[in-house]
Structure 1
Amino acid sequence: MSFHRPRAVFNENSLCVLDIETICGEEMDDNSFPPWCLHTPVVASLLTAVRDSHGEWAFDLETVRFSDPEEALCRVDDLLRGRACISFAGRSFDLRVLMLTAQKCRLMSLPSLTAAATEPRYLSARHYDLADVISGYGAARGASLSGLCGALGIPVKQEAHGSEVGALYDRGDLEAIERYCETDVCATLLAYAYQRAMETGDPGYHASLTWQFARWAEEQYLDHLAPYAEVRDPQALQQFSLLGQLDASLENAQLDADLRDKRAVDDSFGELTHY
């Protein structure tokens, strides 16, 4: 006997953007990028974005170092718990590297990381791979994060590039690697906001996520996040954002009213059946 298991629904109100930086001790004879299985993670940046019932976004940015791989992996799993993982090519690289690292550590109980890494490509509710989505799952030639963000006017890779991570690591400059990784997750979040708004036909989603993130970035007083405080058409984005928050509040109020009405009916029915 088989049981139907309903597919989980992608939660666009609870996100965790993931990116990792790695080193690789082997070089390819043709100078190509080494296969993912040869890479060792150095840092992972996770940008969480959670929207409440009133349309207010709360953001947090954390970068973990892999000096202790087990501790780092457990922290990544904690931050992914209950949130949809957003990545750029994470399905083919970041999550593969993290899963292999966990296996090397004999660390098999990482349910949130495993769920994001192993869900079906086309039916994933726990992992939204932006690189996969924008290419039509391989229908179009893939674009780099730099190319996509350049076209959309999103700041990206302003201080370093992935090819420089090895040299930075050899110099012991982990802080520079962290800053670079953090700017990548910021850029990925903003690029995701464009794509998701197009999919849903909801410009308010892009506006609220982009404008509120810009305000959050400004409040961090960190040089590498400062470019993300500068958004185009801030007044228009703010207007759409506030309208989206109003719609969310009204929808939430309606749901509360419906719930109260249902409880009142249930109570009345209960009294009638009691007699």
Structure 2
Amino acid sequence: MNVMVFDIETVPDVEGGRRVYGLEGLSDADTAQAMYQLRMAKTGGDFLAHHLHRIVAISVVFRSGDQLKVWSLGDLDSDERDLLRRFFDGLERYTPTLVSWNGGGFDLPVIHYRALRHGLPAPRYWDVGDDQREFRFNNYLNRFHWLHTDLMDVLSGYQARAVAPLDEVATLLGLPGKMGMSGAKVWDAYQAGNLAGIRDYCETDVLNTYLVYLRFEYLRGHLGAEGYAAEQTRVRETLAAAEEPHLREFLAAWPEDAASA
């Protein structure tokens, strides 16, 4: 089975904000500030509506056969369309089980709007059985199917009042949790030109999510104690062999006895 854990990082879509709210003539920073203020006036909070986010990073943990890989799609020069194209190309090629934390509530709706914005076809992603018969019973769009497993949704029993943040769940399991940044700081980091730091942060988030997913697979009986330990070892070995400092820092912050079976 192919498994792809994913996470996105976003910034305000200032171009879209100018169009929607008539904010022509303002700088990017002032446009974003106006968007936050308008959202606050409408909802009491400043978290922007899904269609007004722009994706600047998509990071994945990909598990296939004997391979495990952690990376961010594209490179520092990739635009949003290229990131999305690479994401959907992976689905078309491998049909992986998608795994996320709040992907159904945030990441995928944002991806939908941005794919619509860029006109990106993704027939396998949108298929609910019209092309592939088996997709009637397991597809990416149905909330209660497993082809996209939103861990936050499933573990909360699909109850909004029971949801928990990834950082706290990861910390409960002895995992590193958030490292170096948070979603609230992404816009500031982006304005400062620190896209590399945003991508690094996103990669540590998908690592946390993947390790929670392994624990969940153990609970489901899909991994026995030995298999669960072997998968954790595979992650440790992958991180130990990595050249990227943030991946080695993640390994150093992950105790050997964390979340043992």
Task: Provide TM-score, normalisation by structure 2.
Answer: 0.76
Aligned-residue offset at 1:206: 2.3
Amino acid corresponding to residue 97 of structure 1 in structure 2: V
Q: Which string of whole-angstrom CA distances, capped at 9 and with x for unpartnered residues, describes residues 54-95 of structure 1?
A: xx4433423336853332211011223321111110011111
Q: Is the 8 A contact 1:16 1:83 kept in 2?
A: yes
Amino acid corresponding to residue 206 of structure 1 in structure 2: Y
Q: Is the 8 A contact 1:95 1:117 kept in 2?
A: no
CA–CA separation in structure 2 for the residues paired with 1:137 and 1:14: 25
Q: Which string of whole-angstrom CA distances, capped at 9 and with x for unpartnered residues, describes residues 186-226 of structure 1?
A: 11100111111101162233222211111101100222111
CA–CA separation in structure 2 for the residues paired with 1:101 and 1:62: 18
Pairs aligned (count):
219
- Of the structure 1 ranges 196-205 and 168-177, higher mean CA displacement relative to structure 2 is found in 196-205
Task: Please name the residue that 2:60 is paired with.
Answer: 46
Q: Is the 8 A contact 1:46 1:79 kept in 2?
A: no
Which residues in structure 2 correspond to 1:100-249 (within 5 Å)?
100-107=113-120, 109-114=121-126, 118-122=140-144, 124-138=145-159, 141-200=162-221, 202-230=224-252, 231-233=254-256
Q: Is the 8 A contact 1:76 1:113 kept in 2?
A: no
CA–CA separation in structure 1 for the residues paired with 2:211 and 2:228: 8
Q: Is the 8 A contact 1:18 1:185 kept in 2?
A: yes
Task: Please name the residue that 1:248 is paired with.
Answer: none
CA–CA separation in structure 2 for the residues paired with 1:38 and 1:182: 23
Task: Please name the residue that 2:106 is paired with.
Answer: 93
Q: Against the structure 1 CA distance between its residues 112 and 171, is the aligned structure 2 distance closer, same or farther, given a 3 Å change threshold?
A: farther
Q: Against the structure 1 CA distance between its residues 60 and 146, is the aligned structure 2 distance closer, same or farther, given a 3 Å change threshold?
A: closer
Amino acid corresponding to residue 154 of structure 1 in structure 2: L
Aligned-residue offset at 1:228: 3.9
Q: Against the structure 1 CA distance between its residues 233 and 181, is the aligned structure 2 distance closer, same or farther, given a 3 Å change threshold?
A: closer
SS at match of 1:165: helix
CA–CA separation in structure 1 for the residues paired with 2:46 and 2:152: 20
- 1:58 is aligned to 2:68: yes
Aligned-residue offset at 1:40: 1.1
Amino acid corresponding to residue 183 of structure 1 in structure 2: T
CA–CA separation in structure 2 for the residues paired with 1:233 and 1:176: 26
Percent identity over paired residues:
27
Amino acid corresponding to residue 76 of structure 1 in structure 2: F
CA–CA separation in structure 1 for the residues paired with 2:256 and 2:83: 39
Q: Against the structure 1 CA distance between its residues 176 and 139, is the aligned structure 2 distance closer, same or farther, given a 3 Å change threshold?
A: closer
Aligned-residue offset at 1:135: 0.5
1:71 equivalent among 62, 82, 103: 82
Task: Provide TM-score, normalisation by structure 1.
Answer: 0.72
Amino acid corresponding to residue 101 of structure 2 in structure 1: F
- 1:19 is aligned to 2:7: yes
Aligned-residue offset at 1:32: 3.8
Aligned-residue offset at 1:137: 1.6
Aligned-residue offset at 1:140: 5.7
Task: Please name the residue that 1:33 is paired with.
Answer: 47
Q: Is the 8 A contact 1:45 1:62 kept in 2?
A: yes
Higher-Rg member (1/2): 1
Which residues in structure 2 correspond to 1:231-270 (within 5 Å)?
231-233=254-256
Q: Against the structure 1 CA distance between its residues 226 and 106, is the aligned structure 2 distance closer, same or farther, given a 3 Å change threshold?
A: same
CA root-mean-square deviation = 2.5
Aligned-residue offset at 1:157: 1.5
SS at match of 1:155: coil
**Structure 1: where are the runs of 5+ without partners?**
1-12, 241-275
Q: Against the structure 1 CA distance between its residues 18 and 134, is the aligned structure 2 distance closer, same or farther, given a 3 Å change threshold?
A: same
